[in-house]
Amino acid sequence: MTSTEIVELRRVIGQMRHCVSSLRAKYGDVAAVQRLANDVERMDIDATELVDLGSTPRQREAPQVEREVVVVPDTPYDESLWKDADDEGLGGYRNRS
């Protein structure tokens, strides 16, 4: 971002902050006004991050997530687990005795 863009962005964020303050005075601290205030704050934080990055924005790296590995054995299931179970694929009860 050029310094002109940064100055303009800061000016616009300041104007939005002023407008949100006016809305808060008129409507009180309702949910819609709180969301707008949060949005303006988020834009201010993001603008600061862009300025800190310099002129070449970098992609954020995805956080590393630890995944649990679940081992499923290849051995056959015990047939007694399925005794007297419905066989849904065939449309009804099927006795496996």
Taking the model in full, what pTM does it have? Answer: 0.52
pLDDT score for 95:
56
pLDDT score for 57:
47
- What are the domain boundaries of the chain? 3-53
Residues of the chain with pLDDT below 50 are: 57
For the beta carbon of residue 20, count every other beta carbon within 10 angstroms.
Answer: 19
HEC profile of 16-57: HHHHHHHHHHHHCCCHHHHHHHHHHHHHHHHHHHHHHHCCCC
